[in-house]
Amino acid sequence: MAHIEKQAGELQEKLIAVNRVSKTVKGGRIFSFTALTVVGDGNGRVGFGYGKAREVPAAIQKAMEKARRNMINVALNNGT
């Protein structure tokens, strides 16, 4: 499990997990990667994304894009 935190504008991005999955075909195994990420602004807006690709950076990028697209509002009680 890996953790990465970046500052993109006012959004905080966190990489939760990267997983390697394999598909067995006639010629051997085909490996691909999945990434789970969470994005939030610290003021009640959060989103998560799940990306899949043949390479790790592409999976992380897809997950971050999906997380930014799927943001929802969470009601905060006294800032927590």
Q: How confident is the model at residue 72 (pLDDT cuts 50, 70, 90)?
A: very high
61: pLDDT strictly greater than 60: yes
Distance (Å, whole) CA 33 – CA 55: 6
Question: 38-49 b/e with 16+ CB inside 10 Å = b?
Answer: bbbeeeeebbbb
List, in order of start, the domains of the chain with CATH numbers.
5-73 (3.30.160.20)
17-60 confidence digits (pLDDT tens): 999 999 999 999 999 999 999 999 988 899 999 999 999 999 99
Question: 8-32 b/e with 16+ CB inside 10 Å = b?
Answer: eeebebbbbebeeeeeeeeeeeeeb
